[in-house]
Every structure is written in structure tokens, then in C-alpha cells.
Structure 1
Amino acid sequence: MKINVVAIAKPENDCYAQLCDHFSKMAKRYAKLEAFDLFNTKITRAQESGVSAAQKSYAQQLEPWLERGYTVALDPAGAEMESEQFAKLLANRTEVTFLIGGAYGHGDTFLARCDRVISLSRLTMSHKVAKVMLFEQIYRGLTINHNHPYHK
């Protein structure tokens, strides 16, 4: 199984990246879990132009990833779920791609093109924290699906 986590974010090597790497290494026995951070000058300029331009720019950057297996967008208005439900989202798939938008989130048109839209929480959090939380839940979901005791 292949799991991609694609974020509109500047690549950074900090404590958050180390935590994502930790969960990625732990998940190795069940799936190949990789992170891809996308950020460039087009995104910077679009964000300076406002919400609509930023969301359009994010969608352009993320569009190629819509072809990569089952696509799941993270959005505050998405469906919340328990860990067992999240595990089912991963079950029996060869590739899953999670899509994290930029500071202005995803636009409705982009969200409609994804297979699923979920929310990690109704709380507002930084992209870095959301990404770590997602990596942990991916690992947790994989262990649930493989009857590993981590979830307990």
C-alpha cells in the first residue's frame, strides 16, 4: 500500500517533520507513507491576492495528485470520524492520497473532485500540527487494520 500526504506548505526540517518521519518509519511494515510539500512563488503571489486566487493556485498545484488512488481532502467542514472509521477509509486500497490545502483552505470546486472530505478536528490548528496528527492517525488506522495493539 502507498499513502501520500500532499500539503501546500514550505518544506521544513523541524520537530514536526521529525514526528512525521517517526510515524512514517513505524508504518513501514504496513504501507509506504510519504510526505510531499508543495510551495512556490506562484502560491505566494496568489495568497497575496486573496482567498479566491490562493484556492485556485492550491488546486492547480494539487490537481496532478487527484489521479493518485483514493483522494481525501482535509477541510474543517469535512466529516469527522473516529479512528476505527478512519481505519476503514484505508482498508483494502492500494493507494490513498491525503490533500492538505494552504492557509486559505480548499475551494468548493476542488473539494467536489476528491473522493472524500474529512476533518481532523473543528479546532483551528497550524498545518504542521495537522500534518503530525494525520500521520499519527494513518499509523493508528494501519495498526487497527492489522490487529496490532497500538490502538489500545
Structure 2
Amino acid sequence: MHRIAIYSIGKKDEKCYEAIYEDLIKNSKKFALIETKNVFNKKINAAQSDAQKAMKAYSDTFKPFILSDGFNIALDPEGKCLDSFAFANLLKEHTKLAFFIGGAYGLERSFVQSCDMALSLSPLTMSHKIAKMVLLEQLFRGLSIIHNHPYHK
């Protein structure tokens, strides 16, 4: 059974997004325990007018969630692009994962480099809400590929 955590910078998501997240997590439940956590604190809030300070605040907030016994993946536009089968292989190789989705300014290079991998979901820029949705769908798809579930045809 996979254990997957998704951390993103942001306040509580709107109900329309939450419903989609919950559906994808529920669909994945037979293959993985997936938890999502939005993080937003006073330090992040105070730093939003300065990109460097904001990225530092994101890094400081995410650091306690770095897995010492798992595989850490930063979502980053300069990261590696994988197709669904390569993503499934990544999931096959690692059963305990943490994904990190940055805020409006992205992630500090040092934080990205401290992770085991930088992953790009697309060359397009997207909000953390959409990135989380795409990631959750690809997690379900990848897990479906691994377990020969008919979702991925």
C-alpha cells in the first residue's frame, strides 16, 4: 500500500475543488493512502509582496514535511516531464512519497534541490489548485496502471 502526502501552499480550497480531490482520493483508496495538506501561515502571508521572501517562507514551511524514509518530489516547471507510464514506474519504485506544490512564486532552487526529484506536470503555468487536481488524477492513473485497473485504457 502506497502512502502519499501532497503539501501545497495555500489557504483552504473551495468546495468545488475539494469535491474533485475527494473523489480522486476515494478512487485511489484501494491502492494508496493519500493525504493532502494546504499550508499557509503568518510568515507566508507577510512575505507575499516579495518573491524571494515568499519562496523562503514556503521552503521553511515545507522543510518539516520532508521524508527521511521516503521519496520527496517538488513540483517545478523546470522539473522532469513524465508520461503516465513513466509516472506509474516511479510509483512502483517508491511506496512512500511526499509531493510539494509551491505558492505563487514557486519554490526556492535550494528546496527543489533538497528533494529527490523535481517533476513538471506541464510546461503550462497553473494554480496550485489545478496542479493538485492534475497530480491526484495522475496518481490514480499511475496506481491503476500498476494494478491493472481498467481506469487507464
Report the TM-score range of the alignment, normalised by the length of the smaller protein: over 0.9
Q: Which residue of 2 aligns with 1:115?
A: 116
Structure 2: any 5+ residue segments left out of the alignment?
none
RMSD of equivalent CA atoms? 1.1
**Matches of 1:94 and 1:144 in 2, distance apart?**
15
Question: In the TM superposition, what is the alpha-carbon distance from 1:13 to its structure 2 partner?
Answer: 3.8
Q: Which residue of 2 aligns with 1:14?
A: 15
Quick one: percent identity of the two aligned structures? Answer: 44
> What are the superposed Cα offsets for residues 110-147 of structure 1, whole Å, 9 maximum, x if unpaired?
11100000100011111111110110000000001111
**Matches of 2:3 and 2:36 in 1, distance apart?**
11
TM-score for the superposition, normalised by structure 2? 0.95
* 1:77 pairs with 2:78: yes
Runs (4 or more) in structure 1 with deviation over 4 Å come to none
Q: Which residue of 2 aligns with 1:56?
A: 56
**Matches of 1:105 and 1:37 in 2, distance apart?**
15
Structure 2 counterpart SS, 1:4: strand
Range with bigger deviation, 119-128 or 87-96 = 87-96
Structure 2 counterpart SS, 1:148: coil
Whether contact under 8 Å (2:74, 2:99) holds in the other structure is yes
Question: In the TM superposition, what is the alpha-carbon distance from 1:67 to its structure 2 partner?
Answer: 2.1
Structure 1: any 5+ residue segments left out of the alignment?
none
How many residues in Structure 1 have an aligned counterpart in Structure 2?
A: 151
TM-score for the superposition, normalised by structure 1? 0.95
**Matches of 1:67 and 1:20 in 2, distance apart?**
23
Question: In the TM superposition, what is the alpha-carbon distance from 1:77 to its structure 2 partner?
Answer: 1.0
